[in-house]
Structure 1
């Protein structure tokens, strides 16, 4: 019997087919309006897939996080894990921002661009007022849990779930029945996730075909230097993240990278970190991370640990300044970095959040917002790399926090559990 192809291979094939079909449409329908209309119909599948993922995220985060916190036992344990995770996230964010700043200064992607610059008075029509520290802190606490669930506000769901989980743990035996019920809900959501993930290759095909049909591949040649420099920066960042993982996890970090390859490609092809969330949870289970850690750290990471997006913020901001020949002193760049460190923490759940953060930063430093129009055409291609990097960063962060907490199964036990999942045996998720 021929060996079945792994799921990652189907995603890779779907990406290649999507690019071919998309380029055929782009070549045969040079009118952008016609190509966009066709792409709109093609992208229905990827839109439905992403909507199905978004449908699952809120109940999945709530159920897994509440059960995980309840299993931790007390508020002190929750606070300790929160502190360790936040410490990693802040450090990783700082490294990502600094890397973007250093590489943009070294590579100078905006100099001698050879492209017409948008008029300085043009606007990118992005709302920037919401990115203030005051609004972010106020936004942390939900006015209504139902509203937070309905709007997929991950950070607000995390805050409520923390209170709920700690309260359940404090109830002891009285809360045991509720914990068991929510645990069953988590397993139901994971079962539904399995069904939804069967559509992943079709969604990847549609997303790639629609993107290439509208933009073509020629646009990549026009921005080859900028995109090449940015992806070089992402490679450096991946190296830094893997090295950090190696320091704490040893050679085992390479096994984690193999386990998350499908999640990596899925987030890359769909340009969505959320699309990979269920797959990363599954990969962390197989790696040996106990669910009470992964269900807590992963949702936090989606709000605080967007490494690829962070690097893009400094890189793109300096690119635009260089394109308009606006010199920025070292002091100004450091101030910009510190501001981005704060404002970028509200990225989660905001469409094209990186662009919104960059627009707000450009305004504060009198750099033309019109510069965003330069990169809008290739932003989807850049977002693919950012999203995939976010997936890598959150996976490594979760595994490291689990190791720190002593909640990472030994390699042989993790392998045995992974085999039980593959064989569809009735094995429980490590609590």
Structure 2
């Protein structure tokens, strides 16, 4: 008789609680911030190793799964059709996220009477603030070399190269059969390694939470309670809108998808990294019935074009800082800012604090003090948890919907049979 195993998602929840307790013990035992930060640094080694291992896998995993997926689509017109549908969803979801952030920050006014000393206007957050141009975006999207894109983990550049490579293999037909088979084997090898790495996820979650609380304590949450509360209320609304949009196409099955991605959701929340959840989301989509040729194509695109939580945070944070310094932004300026953010946020990496660079550039363009970023840096990790988890939800729903549009989503009965196959082939 088999022993009942705790679900992985429950292990992650337990790890989060233990991490908070451990972190608070360090914070209260070592009042000196330098000492606490030093201890937190050693604790964080575990989560840093985990995230590095994930980053080590992301490039080869995206390349191998995407090339095979595109090659199996058959021709460039099929790739173009899926690309168009995915991009249409991403643009709509991005616009919705930005507008919601703008509406909620105007409605809730989190920056008014913030009750905290404002950083000096001349202070710098030491983040890149170069102005964005279309030339920069196109230059960033096209890789100078595939090796450089893989070395720097530039997902968008890897996607561009992989699409060309996959289309070329599809055009070669039988001549490319051996190469496609070899790359397919590579993807399975990468997924096997991913399985090994994921076994340390609860430890990484515990370390990440412990390090965060040990450095900042829990009292910082009280100081920023209004700002954080307003932001999470806005996130809950965004989750609701994303789920409703998914339900419009997937029906009640969207609830099944949410159950399947709960582990990925908690992992991205606890580590404040969308990338950490990527392999888990791929597995969840497999189990939901999304065919791999769709998920391996749409998911990497989503990590560059569909970071819904990060995008909403951009408008919310910029307006919070403007309100804190009592800078009035007319509606026309806010709409201009929204449209600029629509472009600057594309290609934003799904890694901790990447959105801060985009916010810094936006503040610079609209003459809002960059020093305002110093206001939110202390709690940014806690905010990053929510927006990273939102990115995971948004990309999962987007991929499932595109699969449905393409007729590449298995029925519930087919998905159940596929699940049984996956369970039988999984390592003990």
Match of 1:313 in 2: 314
Q: Which consecutive residues of structure 2, in runs of 5 or more, have no partner in the other structure?
A: none
Q: Measure, in 1, the Cα distance between the counterparts of 2:137 and 2:272.
A: 24
Q: Which moved more, 1:342-351 or 1:217-226?
A: 342-351
Q: Which consecutive residues of structure 1, in runs of 5 or more, have no partner in the other structure?
A: 427-431
Matches within 5 A, 1:64-143: 64-129=65-130, 131-143=132-144
Shift of 1:128: 1.8
Secondary structure (helix, strand or coil) at the match of 1:182 reads helix
Q: Scaled by the length of structure 1, what TM-score is found?
A: 0.97
Secondary structure (helix, strand or coil) at the match of 1:420 reads helix
Matches within 5 A, 1:20-419: 20-129=21-130, 131-348=132-349, 352-419=353-420
Q: CA RMSD in A?
A: 1.1
Q: Measure, in 2, the Cα distance between the counterparts of 1:222 and 1:369.
A: 21
Q: Measure, in 2, the Cα distance between the counterparts of 1:160 and 1:425.
A: 31
Q: Please tell me whether the aligned partners of residues 49 and 200 of structure 1 are also in contact (alpha carbons under 8 angstroms).
A: yes
Shift of 1:416: 1.0
Q: Please tell me whether the aligned partners of residues 131 and 346 of structure 1 are also in contact (alpha carbons under 8 angstroms).
A: no
Q: Measure, in 1, the Cα distance between the counterparts of 2:350 and 2:312.
A: 18
Q: Measure, in 1, the Cα distance between the counterparts of 2:180 and 2:131.
A: 37
Closer, same or farther in 2 for the Cα pair 1:347/1:192, shift >3 Å?
same
Q: Scaled by the length of structure 2, what TM-score is found?
A: 0.98
Q: Measure, in 1, the Cα distance between the counterparts of 2:57 and 2:269.
A: 20
Q: Measure, in 2, the Cα distance between the counterparts of 1:215 and 1:28.
A: 13
**Cα offsets for 1:356-410 (capped at 9, x unmatched):** 1111111111111110000000000000001000000000000000000000011
Runs of 4+ deviating beyond 3 Å:
none
Q: Please tell me whether the aligned partners of residues 113 and 324 of structure 2 are also in contact (alpha carbons under 8 angstroms).
A: yes
Shift of 1:423: 2.3
Q: Which moved more, 1:361-370 or 1:19-28?
A: 361-370
Shift of 1:419: 1.6
Q: Measure, in 2, the Cα distance between the counterparts of 1:67 and 1:255.
A: 27
Q: Measure, in 2, the Cα distance between the counterparts of 1:183 and 1:350.
A: 27
Closer, same or farther in 2 for the Cα pair 1:239/1:223, shift >3 Å?
same
Q: Measure, in 2, the Cα distance between the counterparts of 1:125 and 1:244.
A: 39
